[in-house]
Amino acid sequence: MLEILVLAFGVTLLFASVTNMLHSLIRILVVQGLILFAVTLLKSTQLNWLSFGFIALETLIFKTILIPWFLSDTIRHNAIHREVEAYVSNFFSLALMSVIFLGSFALAIFSEQQSGKLFPLEFGIAFATIIKGLFIIIANKKLITHLMGYLIMENGIFLLSLAVGGDLPHIISLGISLDIMLSVLIAVLFIKRIKSTFDDADSPGHLRED
């Protein structure tokens, strides 16, 4: 079951490579949050109500509900175009994602042989998620898309911590989520602020014409 969930998480990266819609990326973030919630529950060997509360707060409340809602509200409030507006084609993005997967799994197998304590499948997909998030930031024009790439990177870091450490210290994990939540709020306010100067929430450069 755990392997199926991790593979499903990897499939979301393929969908992120071929979608041109901002709302589709938000749905991908929601699905990733649900998968991380299930994976964390399965990997938690000693789960009490306090631990369950931390897991639910971080993955269900923050990753699956609040952050996607803030992103959707920002898109609607600023009338941001629905297209992602990437610098590269979907074919190139998908091909690069395949190369990232190959490189990540090669690194996972090598690391597992060296340490013997890793979960290669989780490590490989987690590392690929981090690289994918970085690629989304680099290869897209919109600031809101950059933020989504940053959130995908954070999901990869979360999964990587599970791959290398088993049970994640929930206090530290909650602190990470609070930082992410604060970053999202600041970014939303920033995007709303620049809307008064620029026609769209693209990278600065398209000044409003009088």
At residue 205, does pLDDT exceed 70? Answer: no
- Mean pLDDT, to the nearest integer, of 175-192? 62
Q: Is residue 202 part of a domain?
A: no
Q: Domain residues for 24?
A: 2-195
Q: Is residue 180 part of a domain?
A: yes
Residues forming a β-bridge with 198: 207
| Total domains, the chain | 1
Place of tokens 């709302």: 23
| 201 φ/ψ angles, rounded to the nearest 5 degrees | -90, 40
Q: Is residue 209 part of a domain?
A: no
Q: How confident is the model at residue 197 (pLDDT cuts 50, 70, 90)?
A: very low
Token code pair at residue 82: 């629905």
Cα 126–Cα 127–Cα 128 angle in degrees, nearest 5: 90
- What's the predicted TM-score (pTM) here? 0.77
Q: Is residue 112 part of a domain?
A: yes
Token code pair at residue 123: 């490590």
pLDDT tens digits along 122-167: 888 989 999 998 898 888 877 778 888 888 888 888 888 777 655 4
Q: Is residue 163 part of a domain?
A: yes
pLDDT tens digits along 63-100: 888 888 888 887 777 777 666 667 778 888 889 899 99
DSSP annotation string for 151-202: HHHHHHHHHHHHHHHSS--HHHHHHHHHHHHHHHHHHHHHHHHHHTTBSSSB
Q: Is residue 171 part of a domain?
A: yes
